[in-house]
Amino acid sequence: MVLFADVVYHGKSGLVDVSPGIYWERVYAVLSPLHRNVPGATSCPKVGVAGFNLGGGFGAQTNQYGLAIDAIRSIEVVVPTGQILTVCESGENSDLFWALKGGGNNFGIVTKWSMATHEQGGINSWVLQFKAEYFNDFIKAILDYQEKQVVISNVEAFFEFTHDGSATVAIASTELFYDSPNEQAALQLFNAFFAIPHTVVNHTQTWMDRHRALPRDHQTFRVGLPRKQDDLPPFRGRFSCAMTSRYTEALIRKGLKEAEKYAHFLRTHDGLQIYIDIWPFNPKMYDHSKDAAWPHRAGAPNGPLVINFKWRNPADDDFWMGKVRATTNALRDEAIKQGVATPKTPVYYNLALDGTPARSIYQENTDRLISIRDKYDPRKTMNRTGGFRV
């Protein structure tokens, strides 16, 4: 798919055509000089467009613009019969358009998305680090930010444990984003974080500078070692998540407890890193979203508490995957116990573990997706691919 590598902005319509064989950094490189943007991936330059758009798409601007799939206006797709279709919200193939917004690779091969852009001005973005002795203050700062509910902002807060070869190191870090050049307003919003003794890893004030400052391949700001940013050795790893409508102190502490519990195995099982990413979204995050395959609607906020484990040795795969699953289940159970999730809360496609039933991802939309799959792929050709089959 790397041969599909175009990014074409249409100034008259404000749409951008994005191909599936590229990373989001390529999209931003084209749009940033034009002072335009799309709600794409914002955590790493090397996130691919295709999987992100097919699965949903959470990012730093989700509070303002919803998911990446909410910005999609039309899709060019090759269906298993060999037809090349361009589908949109209206027309005879509107059902396929709906299905491709979060429905994964069940229906064909997408060759182009046309997405709505928005104006992008100056920003304020910081990465801060904190010592483990300030974890309690850090939790209070997260909850303080959540209550302020400022739509033009985003916070990702990480609790991380790393084994550096001799000892296990614990740190916290946060990525603070304010979509305005008003630095004083940003500092006031994030004052609870800045009040904690901290190290400033970086401060950027344009979208492209922010993106350039993100960790590259095999790097992390959350490495937990004395250096601010370090190269990681080759590693294996897995993401997962527990979905939540908001964060309680008990849920955050449960995440910290789970990470701390399994950090004891980093030394004995060639582990590299465990982190829990607390990501409080605004209750208005889906106010402008439209119906799509992955269930999300106005008035029902729902975002991922991200779980990440990294290790080095393939021989430890089963061991660490067991810990990933145990952590995921524990945090989902805690979210349900706290009343911020239910057993029917949809699992986020892009962070779902292998073996997750499609119905757990799509919930009430599953039967409709099966019907659309049978219409466009009656021979189930797409079952030969990976992903979550409906």
Extents of the domains making up the chain = 7-120+362-384, 124-351
Structure tokens at 362: 């799509």
- Please determine, for residue 217, whether its predicted confidence score (pLDDT) is greater than 90: no
Cross-strand bridge partners of residue 18: 7, 113
What is residue 222's predicted lDDT score, i.e. its pLDDT? 61
Which fold, 124-351? Vanillyl-alcohol Oxidase; Chain A, domain 3 (3.40.462)
CA–CA dist 277, 239 (Å, integer): 11
Q: Which of 264, 238, 247 is nearest to 334 (CA)?
A: 247
Structure tokens at 295: 């269930």
- Please determine, for residue 112, whether its predicted confidence score (pLDDT) is greater than 70: yes
- Please determine, for residue 229, whether its predicted confidence score (pLDDT) is greater than 70: no
Cross-strand bridge partners of residue 174: 128, 157
pLDDT above 90 as % of the chain: 87
Q: Could you tell me if 103 and 2 are in contact, meaning their C-beta atoms sit under 8 angstroms apart?
A: no
pLDDT digits 0-9 by tens, 158-209: 999 988 777 888 999 999 999 999 999 999 999 999 999 999 989 999 999 9
CB burial of residue 95 (10 Å; 0-12, 13-18, 19+):
middle
What is residue 221's predicted lDDT score, i.e. its pLDDT? 61
CA–CA dist 26, 363 (Å, integer): 34
What is residue 207's predicted lDDT score, i.e. its pLDDT? 95
Least confident piece of the model among 33-37, 266-270, 366-370: 266-270
Residue 235 confidence class, pLDDT cut points 50, 70, 90: confident
Phi, psi of 64 (to 5 degrees): -90, -40
Per 3-state DSSP, the chain is made up of helix, strand and coil in percentages (nearest 5) of: 35, 25, 40
- Helical H segments across the chain, by residue range: 24-31, 49-55, 62-65, 94-100, 135-148, 183-189, 191-194, 207-213, 249-263, 317-337, 358-362, 366-376
DSSP string over 41-87: --S-TT-BHHHHHHH----TTHHHH--GGGGEEEEEEE-TTS-EEEE
CA–CA dist 121, 93 (Å, integer): 36
Q: Could you tell me if 30 and 18 are in contact, meaning their C-beta atoms sit under 8 angstroms apart?
A: no
What is residue 178's predicted lDDT score, i.e. its pLDDT? 98
Q: The whole model's pTM is what?
A: 0.93
Q: Which of 285, 262, 288 is nearest to 275 (CA)?
A: 262
- Please determine, for residue 232, whether its predicted confidence score (pLDDT) is greater than 80: no
**Length of the chain (residues):** 390
Average pLDDT over the chain, rounded to whole? Answer: 93
Structure tokens at 270: 């060639």
- Please determine, for residue 87, whether its predicted confidence score (pLDDT) is greater than 80: yes
- Please determine, for residue 36, whether its predicted confidence score (pLDDT) is greater than 90: yes
pLDDT digits 0-9 by tens, 337-370: 999 999 999 999 999 999 999 999 999 999 999 9
Contacts of 358 (CB under 8 A, 6+ apart): 366, 369, 388, 389, 390
Residue 45 confidence class, pLDDT cut points 50, 70, 90: confident
Distances 378 to 120, 193, 364, 381 between C-alpha atoms, Å:
43, 54, 22, 8
Cross-strand bridge partners of residue 307: 240, 276
CA–CA dist 198, 215 (Å, integer): 19
Domain 7-120+362-384, CATH: 3.30.465.10
